[in-house]
Structure 1
């Protein structure tokens, strides 16, 4: 009987020894991943500081119309968006002498038409056109359908597509054309720039809870990773709030994401090439960017401007379902990246690193985690400051900090909710997201839970995202 404890101790020691190597490998892998994510975060922070510190005036801002490349600006509209007058006016006041504007609405009774006509009257020297009605239905994406007529009528090859809730600085167009053209001494062997995009920067005009969460998300962690990924530039990563590209390039792609030499027309595709080919996608902006990158081998670039994204009164439920929708779309487009997404967020990443450090070095979680979150917050606030041109205002700092913390805590539950389904809601209609982000209608009936969430967030979602929920 005296040998029993010895056997137990020996067994425990043997078990510990058996799992020692896997624990060591797992802990080391967690720390390597942690360091990698921090490197990306610091890269994004450094890029924000460097790129957005100064906004030099482009020579094209004062160049005569005959020497500046022509640009056709396409703005899809629906309803009275937050800050709509100022958003649209920022297009009329661009410091550029060779551009035209197409303001597109699907319905002749759309309330946005009043503002459009006021601006055209205020700026008679600007070459502006109003396009009413969707005369070419190319897919389920209402934004693409709304733009098709303007796309056909545009007289310039360079297209600048801006969402209606976006406001830009007067020099944005000139600097964006500079980036698209590239420096004159660029090597012939270098990949040409095919698309110029802008980091979205949210600013809320009505501080509902969802509005604050959207600000805390877009202006910190999202911007940080967006800048870092585009700096590394190993693949396409574009948000379509404000994109500049050539129609001649778009007419050579079909959304297959296969090199143009081997690309074949997909059966059932609503359009062979050009903008019409992207009417079947929910995230047409991301797919256009990916097609230019993969099918034509073109690169993307960011100018030193931001796309100021006006956010209206957004409830918590509206914020959650907006995030759910885009996670479900990304899941069908970039599955691997979407599945590791929780491991890039501060909470789960910090917990994994804390467990690894405790195992490898005996560092207690109560000591590591506060330092981790404090440094993560400091980097995020630095990114905000770089993009905004100033720190978070003192009178809203506490509210912003609370929204930031809530956003971080909600990231994992929202991801889990998004992963378990493939359906998204557009104004009371349900769609199933299929391969590559294509969508199809699945019927009118909804579950009681889904209907409750829709009724609760419908007004705010439509107010904030008119382009995504426009009529078919």
Structure 2
């Protein structure tokens, strides 16, 4: 065998091992559910940072106002009175008079990341010790608060976070959703199994005020793109446990063009690259669908090449099923699991491109990422 063949075989073997461990991590996570104590329901404040009007905003916001939970407060943080989402928030306030809902409009900026500024402005009005942060495109069920709060019974826990499944329409959004459920979340489960969770996702971040104070408050992350990652990483560095909840929220993925989707994926890729550079480089050893296809071409369609490709692709699809279907119960993964290899090919191209440049586009702004992961205006 030529050197290139050997290298490609190594990449295929490493990928198959990763897929196998991903399946194991999914099974382990599934058989160890978090117990629910109906008597544990401390009062909480939900912080909802808003910038612009997302798809199905009313449905997303209202889902947080229908919780089977005795005492909670909800605060929407907006930076400008002209924001179109305010009209939806005011409608929510009128239709849910029994829920303690506040709208904070404050243009004060504490850093380049405007979302974090919204959070910092909103938290001033928080009545309760425990904060729950969830992005504006997240939708939840009525048992959400009761379940995500449970890990805080352990006083060593400083942060709780959640995985998510995407609600998508259109082939572009569907492809994005498939990659998220079968690839991104597989990586989360593998990381959780290997070293424990040391980061958080914007889908849900449960964090007590005291823990937020220990890491320096929202000011400590005000210039970072990966603000959600930092809200898990910094407490973990201070010795707090970060728990991955077994509650899965819904993420409403807006219908977009292929160009918009690629730009979004490039932004996330560069965000991961600066947040976890070695982890990002290590993704090379997980693209088995690409490596096996290249090996088949390099070996000119030999039997060995076909055998390696079939084994690799079967393991990839099994991992996608274990995570996307079994753990996330993602209807898109159930219906379009066969699209995973195509998604991997596209994602590999985005991964390669993620090494180039440091400019991103986010919420209409053109920003530049520093080596430390901070945002500066371009």
Superposition TM-score, scaled by structure 1 size: 0.72
Deviation per residue, 1:407-454 (Å, 9 max, x gap): 111122111212111111235543221122101122xxxxxxxxxxxx
Change (3 A) 1:391 1:292: same
**Cα 1:384–1:422 shift into 2, 3 Å:** same
* Residue of structure 2 equivalent to 1:162: 134
Whether 2:49 is the aligned partner of 1:71: answer: no
Query: Paired residue for 1:445?
Result: none
Judge conservation of contact 1:213–1:319 (CA < 8 Å) in 2: no
RMSD: 2.9
1:199 aligned partner: 163
SS in 1 for 2:214: coil
Look at both structures and tell me which one has the larger radius of gyration over its CA atoms. 1
Tell me, yes or no, if the aligned pair for 1:169 and 1:305 is still in contact at 8 Å: no
Find the residue that maps to 1:92 and give its secondary structure. Answer: coil
Distance 2:60 2:263 in 1: 25
Residue 310 of structure 1 and its aligned partner are, at CA, apart by 0.4
- 1:384 deviates by 2.1
> Unmatched 5+ residue regions in structure 2?
none
1:440 is the counterpart of 2:365: no
Native 8 Å contact 2:176 2:261 kept in 1: yes
Q: Find the counterpart in structure 2 of residue 301 from structure 1.
A: 243
**Counterpart Cα distance in 1 of 2:343 and 2:236:** 32
SS at match of 1:100: strand
Is 1:173 aligned to residue 115 of structure 2? no
Per the normalisation by structure 2, the TM-score is: 0.89
Residue aligning to 1:131:
104
Aligned to 1:376: 316
Structure of higher RCO (CA pairs closer than 8 Å, 6+ residues apart): 2
Counterpart check, 1:141 vs 2:123: no
Contact preservation (8 Å) 1:202, 1:215: yes
1:50 equivalent in alignment to 2:31 = yes
Give, in angstroms, the shift of residue 305 of structure 1: 0.8
Q: How many residues align?
A: 376
2:357 pairs with one of 400, 421, 425: 421
4+ long deviations beyond 6 Å? 22-28, 352-356
Quote how far apart the aligned CAs of 1:354 are. Answer: 7.4
In the alignment, which of 195, 210, 221 is matched to residue 233 of structure 1? Answer: 195
Q: Which residue of 1 aligns with 2:227?
A: 284
Q: CA deviation at 1:313?
A: 0.8
Instruction: Give the Å deviation of 1:202.
Output: 0.6
Q: Which runs of 5+ in 1 are unaligned?
A: 1-15, 187-191, 254-272, 443-472
CA contact (8 A) 2:62 2:92 kept: yes
Q: Is the 8 A contact 1:203 1:215 kept in 2?
A: yes
Retained in 2: the 8 A contact 1:342–1:411? no
Which among 21, 43, 64 is matched to residue 40 of structure 1?
21
Instruction: Say if 2:181 and 2:333, in contact at 8 Å, map to a contact too.
Output: no
